[in-house]
Amino acid sequence: MAYIAYTDPSDIPEEDRVMDTDNIIQIHGVHSRVTPLHYELYRELMHEESPLTRIQREMIAVMVSALNGCHY
């Protein structure tokens, strides 16, 4: 699996920062303009109305992470 170094949140331009410090957000700091876009997609997929329950969505995320050898 590829390794991408985390970007320190203080190195992300203020206009690209979001209210989340998960590791995936820090990885997006490499190209920080995508950080708010990724966060918006995450919020939509995981927290907004869906035919799947929140628990089902979390379980899918855990399984995909496990299959990819990622820490969730």
Report, as ranges of residue numbers, the positions in the chain whose pLDDT lies below 70. Answer: 1-2, 71-72
Amino acid at the residue 11: D
Amino acid at the residue 38: H
pLDDT at 11: 87
Contact 21, 9 (CB under 8 A): yes
Spatial distance between the Cα atoms of 47 and 57, rounded to a whole number of angstroms? 9
pLDDT at 8: 83
pTM summary value: 0.71
Spatial distance between the Cα atoms of 65 and 61, rounded to a whole number of angstroms? 6
Spatial distance between the Cα atoms of 64 and 31, rounded to a whole number of angstroms? 23
The angle at the Cα of 54, spanning 60 to 36, to the nearest 5 degrees, equals 80
pLDDT at 4: 77
